[in-house]
């Protein structure tokens, strides 16, 4: 039985070091003898409440979107909550009824389910635009549906 506890203690020590950067040697000794890279850091980039979902078919899709210089998409709608994160370039975006926004690398945006994405365009005529879009869906509907222009 004591070998089981020893194994559990070893596993916990490994987990502690891997996730929390815990050390069993004094930090000054560990720093002098360790070749382990510094621990990672994290930060919340965006927090957004989601609408009620049925939860039976939850799925998340992460898609990279690229627009050439001067590129744009037609008005469209998504059946899912959409989170965007700009990687490079500058995005002009507006969901009908909301204020237009301009987003640069490291900035995020949100589109509610079934909102009409009236403007989605590269703000530059010289530089490309790339951004990540995360869809949080609870249906199997197509991710994007064209919306007739007014």
CA nearest neighbour of 134 among 57, 50, 63: 63
Q: Which one is predicted more confidently, 57 or 136?
A: 136
Q: How many CA atoms does the CB half-sphere of 133 hold within 13 Å?
A: 20
Q: Flag whether 43 is in a domain.
A: no
57-75: pLDDT as tens digits: 888 999 999 999 999 999 9
Q: Clarify whether residues 66 and 120 are in a common domain.
A: yes
pLDDT above 70 coverage of the chain, percent? 77
141 with 107, same domain: the answer is yes
The answer to whether position 104 is within a domain reads yes
Same domain, 29 and 63: no
Does residue 71 sit in the same domain as residue 133? Answer: yes
Query: What pLDDT score does 32 carry?
Result: 56
Structural domain total, the chain: 2
Same structural domain for residues 73 and 114?
A: yes
**What's the domain range around 117?**
59-146
Edge-to-edge strand order for the sheet containing 108-111? 59-67, 129-137, 81-88, 108-111
Q: Which of 24-28, 43-47, 104-108 has the lowest mean pLDDT?
A: 24-28
- CATH number assigned to the domain comprising residue 107: 2.60.120.10
**Tokens found for residue 118:** 């009236």
Q: Let me know whether 131 and 96 are in one domain.
A: yes
| pTM attached to this predicted model | 0.69
Residues 9, 67: one domain? Answer: no
Q: Using CA atoms, how far apart are residues 54 and 59, in angstroms rounded to an integer?
A: 12
């Amino acid at each position: 039985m004591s070998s089981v506890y020893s194994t559990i203690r070893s596993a916990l020590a490994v987990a502690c070091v891997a996730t929390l950067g815990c050390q069993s040697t004094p930090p000054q000794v560990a720093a002098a003898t360790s070749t382990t890279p510094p621990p990672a850091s994290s930060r919340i980039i965006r927090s957004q409440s989601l609408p009620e979902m049925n939860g039976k078919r939850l799925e998340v899709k992460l898609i990279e979107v690229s627009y050439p210089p001067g590129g744009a998409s037609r008005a469209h709608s998504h059946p899912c909550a959409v989170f965007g994160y700009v990687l490079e370039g500058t995005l002009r975006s507006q969901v009908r009824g909301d204020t237009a926004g301009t987003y640069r690398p490291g900035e995020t945006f949100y589109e509610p389910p079934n909102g009409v994405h009236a403007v989605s365009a590269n703000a530059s005529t010289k530089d490309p635009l790339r951004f990540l879009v995360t869809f949080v869906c609870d249906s199997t509907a197509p991710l994007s549906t064209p919306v007739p222009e007014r």
